Structure 1
Amino acid sequence: MASIVIWIIAFIMILGVFQVDTSALLATLGVASLGLGFAIQNIIRDYLQGFCIVMEDWYRIGDWVTIAGMEGEVEKISPRRTVIREINGTMHVIPNSQIPFASNQTRDWARINLYVTVAYKEDISHVYQIIDSVCLELKNDPDFGKHLTSTPAAMRVSNLGDHGVDICIRGYTEPGEQWGLTGELRKRIKNRFAQEEIEIPWPHAKIYFGNTPEIDKISDS
């Protein structure tokens, strides 16, 4: 850029030496420099925001983030742009100036946050015991337990819904392992509930067609 500017100035000075009218050329260069200034302004914003993102360590390559309304894995970080890839494989190239904030789901630690619904007729204390037993089995599993930093447990009744009682289960995991562990815990709870005959409710609907009209019986004469 500096070389281009120097050559342009030198060219105009040479034209002046040969007494060539450069007023029209200078006006054109003024308009062009104004447009170039607006374009460079956005580029400078990208670089400044990129510098802040890197220095403040918002996210790193391999992190699962939500930025600029897009969610995916960070594939590349440069001073001007961030590249993320969605779970379906779509790649998004986002200028850093368009990233006002970032939500990082795989930094330092993660958490299982699972809600299980049981029927109103069930004994909640017994359900708590079953859930905690399944969570302990998951923690003691050599394949899954090594990614758990605490043993999940039934925390509370989170809601009395229209169809059942919602129970909240929470536990801490290594970063990025929360999704697989949540799925495995959900599967094991479903199987144990089937063994213990604990009902997992689903929405029911009753349909009324109004009062059934009485049919006059005509007696045979």
Structure 2
Amino acid sequence: MWLKIGFVGIKVLLIIVAAGIIVRVAKMLIRKTFAVRIKGPLKYNERRQQTMSKLLENVVAYVVYFMAIIAVLSAFTIDITGLIAGAGVLGLAVGFGAQNLVRDVITGFFIIFEDQFSVGDFVRIGPAEGTVEEIGLRTTKVKGATGELFIFPNGNVTDVVNFSVHNSIAVVDINVGYNADINQVERLIQEFLDTVEEKYEQIIKPPEFLGVQSLTPTEMVVRVIAETLPMQHFAVARGLRRDLKEYLDQNNVEVPLPHMVMMQRPVQK
């Protein structure tokens, strides 16, 4: 009896170890295969390939572990045929009650099939905004800018804003005082913009000076825009503000400061 128990235990241990090794090897092969496709001459969409790679890794893990569970049950001489038949009937019954689960899986399939967004994209889904970490058959994981992880059932992913598909636009507003010569300011800004394209590799087209954007009680606001690579507009806008501020300071164009005027009525005697 002890020999039989020991034999069954060794068999179960070997099944678990073999399943783990198969899953690791399969995931490694999938990653290498998609890495070769991305670097190949056919120019596959890198975002889509990464998403499909993650999905296939999950599917392989589910299938292998399910087969491992069946093999473990067989090692304990449990009738698998009746169990599978019962599982089929139970799955049918659960399927009618698990409509949300079915909806999540179907929605996840169409998200991947239609390439609505992919792993690595910067998206906004409802209140969450961040980088897509993983797209599964049931859930989507989005990592926020400050490290928080949002997990959405795919069926709840309705309104999506994808910032990574097209080029971005960096918008820079500069405040100028009313005492400044607006013609001189426009000339200086244009001279500055003619030199920045070589400095910023993320800029696709030469930046444009749009002119006066608005007039406030204390200042004029002029606007500059620059087309950049997807999701590079934040860094480009910060750099342009800093460099433009230094350039205007060198040419004696000061940023307006708030002024306070105090008036005093004469005291009547």
Query: TM bucket by the smaller chain?
Result: 0.7 to 0.9
Q: What's the counterpart of residue 86 of structure 2?
A: 7
Q: Distance in 1 between matches of 2:84 and 2:96?
A: 13
Which deviates more from structure 2 when the two are superposed, residues 71-80 or residues 48-57? 48-57
Give distance in 1, aligned partners of 2:184 and 2:111.
Answer: 49
Question: Offset of 1:198 from its aligned partner?
Answer: 1.1
1:132/1:152 contact within 8 Å kept? no
Identity %: 24
Residue in 2 that maps onto 1:180: 235
Counterpart selection for 1:115 from 132, 148, 173: 173
Shift in Å at residue 37 of structure 1? 3.6
The secondary structure found in structure 1 opposite 2:185 is helix
- Paired with 2:190 and 2:172, the residues of 1 have a C-alpha distance of 13
Aligned to 1:201: 256
Taking the TM superposition and a 5 Å limit, the aligned residue runs for 1:73-112 are 73-112=131-170
User: How far 1:77 sits from its partner (Å)?
Assistant: 0.9
Alpha carbons 1:112, 1:152 under 8 Å: kept: no
Q: State the shift of 1:182 in Å.
A: 1.0
Query: Which residue of 116, 119, 124 corresponds with 1:61?
Result: 119
Cα distance change on mapping 1:52 and 1:124 into 2, 3 Å: farther
* 1:213, distance to aligned residue in structure 2 (A): 4.9
Question: Hey, what's the Cα distance between the residues in 1 that align with 2:87 and 2:112?
Answer: 36
The question of whether the paired residues in 1 share the 8 Å contact of 2:193 and 2:207 is answered with yes
Q: Deviations over 1:186-211 (max 9, x none)?
A: 10111011111212124444466x74
In structure 2, relative to structure 1, the CA distance for the partners of 1:186 and 1:8 (3 Å cut) is closer
Pick which of 60-69 and 122-131 moved more. 122-131
What does residue range 145-160 of structure 1 map to in structure 2 within 5 Å? 146-160=201-215
Q: Is the 8 A contact 1:43 1:80 kept in 2?
A: yes
Go from structure 1 to structure 2 and tell me whether the alpha carbon gap of 1:52 and 1:8 turns closer, same or farther (over 3 Å shift): closer
> Hey, which of these two has a bigger chunk of helix by percent?
2
Q: In terms of Rg, which structure is larger? A: 1
**Contact 1:155–1:170 (CA<8 Å) still a contact in 2?**
yes
Q: What secondary structure, in the 3-state scheme, does the structure 2 residue paired with 1:140 have?
A: coil
Going from structure 1 to structure 2, the CA distance change for 1:212 and 1:6 (only over 3 Å counts) comes to: farther
1:178 CA drift (Å) = 1.2
1:70 matched to 2:128? The reply is yes
Change (3 A) 1:131 1:6: same
CA contact (8 A) 1:147 1:177 kept: yes
Change (3 A) 1:196 1:4: farther
Give the corresponding residue for 1:22. none
Structure 2 gaps, min length 5: 1-81
With over 3 angstroms needed to count, the CA separation of the structure-2 counterparts of 1:107 and 1:8, relative to structure 1, is: closer
Question: Cα deviation per residue 1:166-193 (whole Å; 9 max; x = unaligned)?
Answer: 1111111111221111111110111011
* 2:225 pairs with one of 170, 177, 195: 170
Cα contact 2:186–2:211 (8 A) shared by 1: no
Which amino acid counterpart does residue 221 of structure 2 have in structure 1? D
User: 4+ residue stretches of structure 1 with deviation over 6 A?
Assistant: none
Cα RMSD for the two superposed structures = 2.9
Which of 168, 192, 200 lines up with 2:247 in the alignment?
Answer: 192
